[in-house]
């Protein structure tokens, strides 16, 4: 029995969806542990493109169970829309989807308060996805949030919702938010959604622990990424949950002793959506060229992603925080057009070398990236499926990253489709691919 986690290491959108889909074949259960519908995970199977936000990507494999854990925040209408749209494309979503009774619920006042906070003059704007994710987690930590189990208890929910909605309404008025919202209308809407969600809801922590006892294998689907993690990312320019390894356990109820392998996903370069420091960011035509080559536009919001070079100090930090078993490098094919590829190999802060991430965003803004230029391969790698078939300069690029990061690069992605993947001999990913689910 061995469980696997797939985590993003940069600022999200590394291609986690693709790797989770590939790995899911070999697991029984795929679990999401944090985040909400701020996530957008793309899975491409032939000419079909699926974009998943709340439902774990494992749902696409027949015979697998997809679990939305207690650490996730759920907008019921968004969850139901996603279920409906998956069903329209022929994906079965019945008893193969389980939703935690302990997960917290996103309410209409969450995005409203978030928009107001983002627009407050003089306040640091985060550039959020505007889905109300941050305010929902705020309520959870402030112990005034409402869980899915409560939503399903009609009388209890009605009472609690009215009290909290009134209190949040008073906060909104005090903040000068003029946008009206109809709390009785919302109450009705949420009660209707509750009935449609009811068949999926269970105590997923119990389900997961019972399944482990029966010898089932779990795949943990990370959302967001280490540099967006509430504790270890570029605070405050990050999301409101623990997107690094620690969040997998608190968000699922599965002990750290049962997490066996952790595979990190990183692009062969770097991107970020929203505000915040980005040491290797490219401005001007070079950044535009990378964005065009990589199709770097947000999966959830469609915003252009900021683009830059691969950042070794950042990846070394993410490796330390997550203690990776292996690394999966995506979008190698995007670099095909380059004759030279700069890679950030070190940081300097006010003239001195820096070997760890600063804790303050303003200090990180000041960091100077030190580069080494590597030769590009300047020929197509799209769709290559064996390491030996890559051009020598591409092999050297991967070997350089592996050497500097001191972690196995177990796989390389050369296109968005399942088959456009290299799994290296003897790697953790090869071991995963050679084992069977129950």
DSSP SS3 for 429: helix
Long-range contacts made by residues 88-95, C-beta under 8 angstroms, separation at least 24? 89/48, 89/50, 91/50, 91/59, 91/60, 92/62, 93/55, 93/59, 95/199
Least separation in angstroms between CB 357 and ligand IMO: 17
**Per-residue mark of binding to ligand IMO, 108-127 (x: CB under 6 A):** ------------------xx
306 is a contact residue toward ligand GDP (CB under 6 A): no
Catalytic residue status for 425? no
Instruction: Tell me how crowded residue 374 is: count the other CB atoms within 10 A of its CB.
Output: 19
291 is a contact residue toward ligand IMO (CB under 6 A): no
Q: Which is nearer to ligand IMO, 228 or 268 (CB)?
A: 228
240 is a contact residue toward Mg ion (CB under 5 A): no
Query: In whole angstroms, how far apart are CA 174 and each of 3, 110, 168, 268?
Result: 48, 15, 10, 47
429 is a contact residue toward ligand IMO (CB under 6 A): no
Long-range contacts made by residues 392-395, C-beta under 8 angstroms, separation at least 24? 394/332
Long-range contacts made by residues 178-184, C-beta under 8 angstroms, separation at least 24? 179/112, 181/108, 181/109, 181/112
C-alpha 243/C-alpha 223 separation (Å) is 6
8 is a contact residue toward ligand GDP (CB under 6 A): yes
Of these, 8, 15, 40, 145, which contacts Mg ion (CB under 5 A)? 40
CA atoms within 13 A on the CB side of 164: 23
Q: How many residues does the chain have?
A: 438
Catalytic residue status for 104? no
Least separation in angstroms between CB 51 and ligand IMO: 9
Of these, 101, 128, 330, 414, which contacts ligand IMO (CB under 6 A)? 128
Size of the site for ligand GDP (CB under 6 A): 21
274 is a contact residue toward Mg ion (CB under 5 A): no
131 is a contact residue toward ligand IMO (CB under 6 A): yes
Of these, 4, 5, 7, 8, which contacts ligand IMO (CB under 6 A)? 8
Location of structure tokens 């009660």: 191
C-alpha 226/C-alpha 11 separation (Å) is 7
Whether 326 contacts 261, CB under 8 Å: yes
DSSP state of 2: -
Stretch that binds Mg ion, among 32-40, 104-112, 289-297, 334-342 (CB under 5 A): 32-40
Q: Strands, E, within 71-204: which ranges?
A: 73-74, 97-100, 104-105, 201-202
Query: In whole angstroms, how far apart are CA 57 and each of 26, 282, 380?
Result: 13, 31, 29
Q: Which is nearer to ligand GDP, 21 or 150 (CB)?
A: 21
Stretch that binds Mg ion, among 35-43, 113-121, 275-283, 320-328 (CB under 5 A): 35-43
Most distant CA atoms of the chain, gap in Å: 66
Q: Which is nearer to ligand IMO, 112 or 273 (CB)?
A: 273
Least separation in angstroms between CB 169 and ligand IMO: 22
Stretch that binds ligand GDP, among 78-86, 164-172, 205-213, 408-416 (CB under 6 A): 408-416
Question: Which residues 276-305 are close enough to bind ligand GDP by CB under 6 A?
Answer: 299
Interacting partner of 334 out of Mg ion, ligand GDP, ligand IMO, none (Cβ under 5 to 8 A depending on kind): ligand GDP
Residue numbers of the site for ligand GDP (CB under 6 A)? 8, 12-18, 40-42, 44, 299, 330-331, 333-334, 413-416
Residue numbers of the site for ligand IMO (CB under 6 A)? 8, 11-13, 38-41, 126-129, 131, 133-134, 223-225, 228, 238-240, 273-274, 299
Residues taking part in catalysis: 13, 41
């Amino acid at each position: 029995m061995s469980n696997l986690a797939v985590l993003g290491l940069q600022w999200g959108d590394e291609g986690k969806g693709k790797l989770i889909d590939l790995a899911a074949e070999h697991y029984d259960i795929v679990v999401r542990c944090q985040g909400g519908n701020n996530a957008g995970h793309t899975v491409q199977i032939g000419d079909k493109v699926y974009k998943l936000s709340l439902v774990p990507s494992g749902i696409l494999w027949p015979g697998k169970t997809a679990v939305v854990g207690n650490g996730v925040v759920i907008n019921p209408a968004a969850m139901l829309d996603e279920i409906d749209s998956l069903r329209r494309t022929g994906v079965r979503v019945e008893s193969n989807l389980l939703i935690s009774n302990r997960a917290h619920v996103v309410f209409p006042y969450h995005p409203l308060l978030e928009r107001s906070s983002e627009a407050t003059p003089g306040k640091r704007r985060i550039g959020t996805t505007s889905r109300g994710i941050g305010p929902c987690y705020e309520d959870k930590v402030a112990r005034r949030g409402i869980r899915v189990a409560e939503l399903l208890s009609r009388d209890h929910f009605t009472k609690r919702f009215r009290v909290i909605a009134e209190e949040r309404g008073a906060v909104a008025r005090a903040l000068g938010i003029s946008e009206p919202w109809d709390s009785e209308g919302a109450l009705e809407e949420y009660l209707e959604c509750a009935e449609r969600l009811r068949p999926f809801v269970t105590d997923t922590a119990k389900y997961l622990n019972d399944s482990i006892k029966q010898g089932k294998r779990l795949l943990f689907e990370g959302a967001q990424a280490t540099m967006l993690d509430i504790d270890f990312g570029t605070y405050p320019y990050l999301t409101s949950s623990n997107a690094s390894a620690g969040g997998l356990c608190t968000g699922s109820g599965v002990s750290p002793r049962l997490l066996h392998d952790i595979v990190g996903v990183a692009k062969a370069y770097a991107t970020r959506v929203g505000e915040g420091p980005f040491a290797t960011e490219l401005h001007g035509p070079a950044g535009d060229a990378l964005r065009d080559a990589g199709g770097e536009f947000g999966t959830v919001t469609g915003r252009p992603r900021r683009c830059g070079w691969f950042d070794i100090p950042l990846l070394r930090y993410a490796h330390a925080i997550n203690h990776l078993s292996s690394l999966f490098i995506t979008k190698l094919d995007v670099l095909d057009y380059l004759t030279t590829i700069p890679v950030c190999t070190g940081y300097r802060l006010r003239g001195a070398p820096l070997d760890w991430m600063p804790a303050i965003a303003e200090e990180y803004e000041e960091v100077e990236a030190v580069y080494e230029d590597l030769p590009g391969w300047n020929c197509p790698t799209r769709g290559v499926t064996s390491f030996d078939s890559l051009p020598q300069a591409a092999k050297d690029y991967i070997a350089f990253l592996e050497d500097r990061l001191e972690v196995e690069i177990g796989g390389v992605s050369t296109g968005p489709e399942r088959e456009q993947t290299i799994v290296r001999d003897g790697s953790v990913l090869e071991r995963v691919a050679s084992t069977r689910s129950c």
